[in-house]
Structure 1
């Protein structure tokens, strides 16, 4: 029987990063993955493939709608080759997952293919092509999550689909109905809208991306409507029926009136659930919460002292970069170090175009916590860089403590917001004030000038370019 200092169950961004850091710190490490490729949901059927399709569809939309204005003329009709687009997406996935294989070899991490199941707190049975058992002094659970659904919806993976199937459709839908106005639904909805589908989003809450600042939700809603996506908020879905190739969704609007929406595909995107199937957690003394999450303390330690859990399978936002931070945290904890994670400073991003990104407190949270704050906001359309690229939608908003001027939250919608948010994270990590950021030189012309201008607006209401 092989013995390890650490075994990691699950090879997503949290799991494989945890394994690498453990190996770097001198621990004999194994990683267990039930699928034939490493990388988990993110690399195989999540973050990476969805961004590949977002980029491809964005190129197509630019060619159809914007090239002529840029003085670029393409003779003949511009067409979508969906099969080729999906194939390119898969090649990106294959390159990325292959890179994880390389990193496992480089760091001398043993890889086991199969379902990892606890026999007890220190022994793991791996059921794959053959069944074997390993012993681990410590284990990190990183089994991730799966798409959630509603109890009355029967997902057939053909016409009523999850995000996994949406990444490999054989045709562009005529009318895609998206149930759920969160990040995944909006991103994939925009992919197919660009490619020619009619898209209708049905959201239970009174706004899309409800976990983000209300100003971000409002701006995105306005932008998507301008892009001809239909956004139905405050709609409670009560039935989803397939009749042949037609999908019929019935929902009650905020007035209690029944609304019927017909399409040829329905993407169910109502969130994700922690995945612990086959883990046999109880055999190791690992407790789960009422919501099916692995219960952990502030050190990410489960009820079994030698077993830890990270990523989507525990409480908190289901984000790949959160899982990575937690993976490093546990590895360094096992090595006797004193790592730290500030969950308030883990950014959230929506990779539509324009993008949206947030870090820190929202205005709603500051009001709820009775923290006095001031706001500085700057429109993207006031930037020379935005006009040059024709990316005029969006804004940057900075929330700062009314007394100390410390930045408490940054929220933005605009081109490259996913990259720009890192500046805000760095500033807040070092507890910068709005004035600190306003006095830093920002290259011109860039999108990040909007951050400086918003900081100026928050400091003395003296933005220069509005």
Structure 2
């Protein structure tokens, strides 16, 4: 891209319209400053288009199919086994995405932000060149620049993997036919959500995981329990497996060969989904022209205020190495907003809460300290644990699998961490987070009068019993 002789001057430039980027652009523009945002593919970023919300839409469709099938099996519905039309599942997802795109387009039009479709590349610390969607070239400059370019699915250099044209989370959401046998590389969040959804929609599913168990960063009791639940739905797991070669083509026939626990391993299937990590979108941005440093893993190097090594340039979200959740990207926006506004005390990434939810059924939700981390770091704690069947609402739903547990300080009764594997677990996080953020003792939740019968009622039971010393 060739630069124009004189850059167009803005108060702020944002590269990428994902959660952090869009909110920052709207916030700065609302103060009367001149703001431009450059986006190369999806208005609003990946979350409303090809990631968080579309995947949960498909997961919900799969849950409907699963419930209908079980209702027929149990005799509650007197009809033949329901058949799934994946084209309808896809259209339901597409309709939702169209609505979200329209919402974002309206928000940008009303914000005063100049939205520019195109590819951006830095040519100097405060200057970018944009090759626009209509094949024109513009040179833009600003004193404040925010990099919000996100990440993409990692496809590693395993021989034959790229040539097999595997699915990622993007392509699998566009399928109009159910895979005969879906093989998934990776037993993390993306892999497990799609494993269950596709199994419920009618596909045979196999999950190949290099570690000795799925969800390697979760407590072992969580990983083991969820594995058992998913196995009962017919999902096959192959842990401790390394793949050395891929042959064939996804959508036709594929074969993976390698070793499992040092023994020869081979698996064949009709489709291959790669869900084995994320790669930051920092290549091709020309950051070498800016003084912006990268980490060894390719993320933009930032401090606790998300400042890069180049003054006036910030990075937010996945590309900055923040935990890969939309709600964390939104917190990144708050950090940069408050820093630019000079608001005190400043927010920062230091010791912030990082809640998350895995949207399998049952859901897995967590915030704070885990048992594995407590043991590893020698942090003393007391434990309160309760099976989800004692969250009485789960009995009305017929979804009593799982449990909830909380780590309690041994000195001041504060909640150190909370994990739930159960129906609606993600909705249980907020009251626990609030108690943790306010530094309240666990008894503050145990003493609440909670509506019966709600899922939250179980929290009162969990936090009313004296925790056991570990």
2:19/2:45 contact within 8 Å kept: yes
Q: Which residue of 1 aligns with 2:35?
A: 29
Between the aligned partners of 2:51 and 2:390, the Cα distance in structure 1 is 34
Query: Among 289, 300, 321, which residue is 1:315 paired with?
Result: 321
SS at match of 1:114: strand
CA distances 1:409-458 after superposition (whole Å, capped 9, x unpaired): 10011111122212222121112221121112221111122222221235
Q: Distance in 1 between matches of 2:468 and 2:249?
A: 60
1:7-37 deviation line (CA, Å, top 9, x unaligned): 11001112112222223344332211011x3
TM-aligned CA deviation for residue 315 of structure 1: 2.2
Answer yes or no: is 1:248 the counterpart of 2:255: yes
Q: Does 1:393 align with 2:413?
A: no
Q: Deviations over 1:184-221 (max 9, x none)?
A: 01111111100111111111112211222333212211
Q: 1:82 to 1:243 in 2, by over 3 A?
A: closer
Q: Deviations over 1:275-304 (max 9, x none)?
A: 113211111111111211101111111111
Q: 1:426 aligns with which of 434, 446, 455?
A: 434
CA distance in 1, matches of 2:220, 2:247: 33
Deviations 1:349-394 (A, max 9, x none): 1111111111001111111221110110111112321111111111
Q: Does 1:340 align with 2:344?
A: no
Show the counterpart of 1:464. none
C-alpha distance in 1 between matches for 2:85 and 2:271? 19
Greater shift in the superposed pair: 198-207 or 59-68: 59-68
For 1:280-299, what aligned pairs fall within 5 Å after superposition?
A: 280-299=286-305
Q: Does 1:134 align with 2:140?
A: yes
Going from structure 1 to structure 2, the CA distance change for 1:370 and 1:295 (only over 3 Å counts) comes to same
| Structure 2 residue 423 is the aligned partner of structure 1 residue 415 | yes
In the alignment, structure 1 residue 42 sits paired with structure 2 residue 47: yes
Matched, 1:208 2:248: no
User: Aligned partners of 1:69 and 1:14: how far apart in 2?
Assistant: 46
What TM-score results when the alignment is normalised by the length of structure 2? 0.93
Cα-Cα RMSD: 1.9
Cα distance between partner residues in 2 of 1:375 and 1:21: 42
Aligned residues: 458
Q: Does 1:59 align with 2:79?
A: no
- Which residue of 436, 439, 443 maps to 2:444? 436
Q: Distance in 1 between matches of 2:45 and 2:75?
A: 40
Q: Secondary structure at the match of 1:211?
A: coil
Q: Which residue of 1 aligns with 2:104?
A: 100
**Counterparts of 2:339 and 2:283, CA distance in 1:** 27
Determine the C-alpha separation between the residues in 2 that align with 1:440 and 1:70. Answer: 40
Gaps of 5+ in 1: 462-466
**What SS does structure 1 have at the residue aligned with 2:121?**
strand
Gap runs ≥5 in structure 2 = 1-6
Maintained 8 Å contact 2:25/2:35: yes
Q: Which moved more, 1:62-71 or 1:370-379?
A: 62-71
* Residues in 2 aligned to 1:325 and 1:295: alpha-carbon distance in whole angstroms: 18
8 Å contact 2:338–2:347 — kept in the other structure? no
Distance 1:458 1:169 in 2: 50
Length-normalised TM-score, structure 1: 0.94
Three-state SS of the structure 1 residue aligned to 2:321 is coil
Deviating above 3 A after TM superposition, structure 1's stretches of 4 or more consecutive aligned residues are: 24-27, 67-73, 153-159, 341-344, 457-461
CA contact (8 A) 1:378 1:454 kept: yes
Quick check: 1:9–1:32 contact (8 Å CA) kept in 2? yes
What displacement does 1:144 show? 0.4
Q: CA deviation at 1:69?
A: 4.5
1:18 equivalent among 5, 24, 46? 24
Pairing partner for 1:164 from 143, 148, 170: 170
After superposition, residues 188-203 of structure 1 pair within 5 angstroms as 188-203=194-209
